[in-house]
């Protein structure tokens, strides 16, 4: 469950929550693990990373894999966060978080990831929420 909105995207209660490699993704729209092999830690303006409609919150660890514990969120910290809005017409917006905290309470390798995040601050809003993610084989370190 995610409270708040960024870039006009409200994620709310979603069942499309995946983790793998250094990534955790909470999607606002129907998505499949197989469609997420394009994730990166950073993106370029005007260069949509996929031709499909996507809207999601992404957390990216600077290590090769997600790990347990409480971590600060910032582009220069050990965990970064971004909200991405990708349209099939090629339009693409994203915003990076400038603060907040994420806590991974339980990590079962190649099975599930459980935790919460709070005060994840963006230029246009703040997100707080909880997650229970399933493992996605397509999420790998870039």
Per-residue confidence in pLDDT tens, the chain, 142 aa:
999 999 999 999 999 999 999 999 999 999 999 889 999 999 988 888 998 899 999 999 999 999 999 999 998 899 999 999 999 888 899 999 999 999 999 999 999 999 999 999 999 899 999 999 999 999 988 7
In a domain, 113, yes or no: yes
Domain that holds residue 29: 2-34+50-135
Indicate the number of domains in the chain: 1
Q: In terms of Cα–Cα distance, which of 99, 104, 102 is closest to 125?
A: 99
Q: In terms of Cα–Cα distance, which of 53, 64, 22, 16 is closest to 39?
A: 22
Q: Which residues contact 3 (CB under 8 A, 6 or more apart)?
A: 127, 128, 129
What does pTM read for this prediction? 0.94
CA atoms within 13 A on the CB side of 70: 3
Q: Which residues pair with 133 in a beta bridge?
A: 113
In a domain, 17, yes or no: yes
Looking at residue 141, its pLDDT comes to 81
In a domain, 62, yes or no: yes
């Amino acid at each position: 469950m995610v409270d708040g909105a960024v870039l006009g995207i409200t994620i709310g209660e979603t069942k499309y929550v995946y983790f793998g490699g250094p990534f955790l993704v909470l999607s606002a729209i129907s998505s499949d693990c197989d469609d997420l092999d394009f994730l990166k830690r950073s993106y370029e303006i005007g260069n949509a990373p996929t031709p499909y409609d996507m809207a999601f919150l992404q957390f990216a660890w600077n290590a090769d894999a997600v790990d347990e514990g409480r971590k600060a969120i910032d582009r220069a910290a050990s965990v970064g966060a971004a909200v991405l809005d990708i349209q099939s017409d090629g339009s693409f917006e994203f915003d990076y978080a400038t603060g907040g905290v994420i806590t991974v309470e339980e990590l079962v390798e190649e099975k599930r990831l459980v935790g919460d995040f709070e005060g994840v601050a963006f230029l246009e809003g703040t997100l707080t929420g909880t997650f229970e993610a399933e493992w996605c084989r397509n999420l790998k370190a870039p």
